[in-house]
């Protein structure tokens, strides 16, 4: 019986090729059981020690999660799933919606060592809400995150725009270059800057980004015409807000408990891309 938060047979068939067992050594615990244990922990926000017995020893599940975070397995899984979805026409390339959301860091996450790298090295910073982390995703037209970055909570949104767009890449199953360019990029006023507006045309993207009031007043004083906004496209920006709503159903994401940034990033990749992209 498949319980809530666990992978279905159809979903497991998609990710299983990237979770192949090692060729040498002792037989490993059932890989699907371990992945379901990770998903349970991320969905509930509970401590690793509270993992139900049906998923096996909590140390085994945690060590497998930690090793796959270090070797990049969790980063390869969303790329594999998106490639599988794009092969059947499931990826919407008409629009990409960019925004950010702030996550409060729990006191356990705030215990990360500040010596050397300081907190920004672990994507924790002080903002109006206290110690926070910020997630910067780019979603497709159905509100599924294509890629993302994580930063400290006091980092400005527009500073991550080019990095997020540069990470959009879906490999083809056959020959050919990876697909990287959505037709139109939709964002709010926080991304209205000269640098971003000149960057998008160079990539071959249309922009649906409204201007801030100070920019509008400046153009009026100079006698320049206002930039036209594609309001029909801008109305689709709400899909990224719905994406945030789905992501924060996972309690381990709505509040950050992980001290290490790459562990939290692996958690985000697992829940966002595996649960939102898998069939």
pLDDT over 60 (residue 115): no
97, 136 Cβ separation under 8 angstroms: no
| Cα(36)–Cα(7) distance, integer angstroms | 7
Query: Taking Cα atoms as reference points, which of 8, 10, 94, 4 lies closest to residue 43?
Result: 4
Structural domains in the chain, CATH included, are 9-18+28-277 (3.30.420.10)
More confident residue, 91 or 115: 91
> For position 118, what pLDDT does the model report?
46
Distance of CA 158 to the CA centre of its chain: 16
- What average pLDDT does the segment 107-134 reach? 73
More confident residue, 117 or 264: 264
What are residue 131's phi and psi, to 5 degrees? -80, 120
pLDDT over 90 (residue 139): yes
254, 272 Cβ separation under 8 angstroms: no
What DSSP character marks residue 150?
E
Task: Express each pLDDT in 215-248 by its tens digit.
Answer: 888 888 888 777 788 889 999 899 999 999 999 9
pLDDT over 60 (residue 120): no
3-state secondary structure of 253: helix
> For position 111, what pLDDT does the model report?
67
pLDDT band of 27, cuts 50, 70, 90 = low
What DSSP character marks residue 119?
G
pLDDT over 70 (residue 88): yes
pLDDT over 60 (residue 21): yes
| Cα(24)–Cα(183) distance, integer angstroms | 47
> For position 116, what pLDDT does the model report?
46
Task: Express each pLDDT in 145-194 by its tens digit.
Answer: 999 999 988 899 999 999 999 999 988 887 888 888 999 999 999 999 88
Query: Taking Cα atoms as reference points, which of 29, 40, 54, 34 lies closest to residue 6?
Result: 40
Q: What is this structure's pTM?
A: 0.88
Strands 95-98 and 184-186 turn out to be parallel
pLDDT over 60 (residue 28): no
CB atoms within 10 A of CB 234: 17
pLDDT band of 119, cuts 50, 70, 90 = low
- What average pLDDT does the segment 66-74 reach? 85
């Amino acid at each position: 019986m498949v319980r809530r938060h666990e992978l279905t047979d159809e979903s497991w068939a998609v990710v299983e090729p990237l979770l192949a067992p090692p060729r040498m050594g002792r037989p490993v615990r059932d890989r699907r059981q371990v992945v379901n244990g990770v998903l349970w922990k991320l969905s509930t926000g509970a401590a690793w020690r509270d993992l139900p017995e049906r998923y096996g020893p909590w140390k085994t599940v945690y060590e497998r999660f930690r090793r796959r975070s270090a070797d990049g397995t969790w980063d390869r899984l969303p790329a594999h799933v998106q490639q599988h979805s794009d092969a059947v026409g499931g990826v919407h390339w008409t629009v990409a919606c960019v925004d950010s959301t702030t996550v409060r860091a729990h006191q356990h996450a705030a215990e990360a060592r500040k010596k050397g790298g300081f907190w920004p090295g672990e994507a924790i910073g002080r903002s109006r809400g206290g110690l926070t982390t910020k997630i910067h995703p780019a979603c497709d037209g159905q509100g599924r995150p294509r890629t993302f970055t994580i930063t400290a909570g006091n980092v400005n949104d527009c500073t991550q725009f080019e990095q997020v767009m540069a990470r959009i890449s879906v490999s083809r199953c056959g020959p050919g270059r990876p697909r990287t360019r959505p037709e139109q990029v939709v964002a709010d006023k926080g991304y209205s800057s000269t640098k971003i507006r000149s960057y998008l045309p160079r990539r071959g993207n249309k922009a649906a980004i409204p201007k801030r009031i100070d920019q509008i007043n400046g153009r009026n004083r100079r006698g320049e015409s206002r930039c036209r906004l594609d309001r029909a496209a801008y109305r689709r920006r709400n899909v990224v807000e719905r994406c945030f709503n789905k992501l924060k159903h996972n309690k381990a994401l709505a509040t950050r408990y992980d001290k290490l940034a790459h562990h939290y990033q692996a958690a985000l990749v697992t829940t966002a891309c595996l649960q939102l992209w898998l069939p």
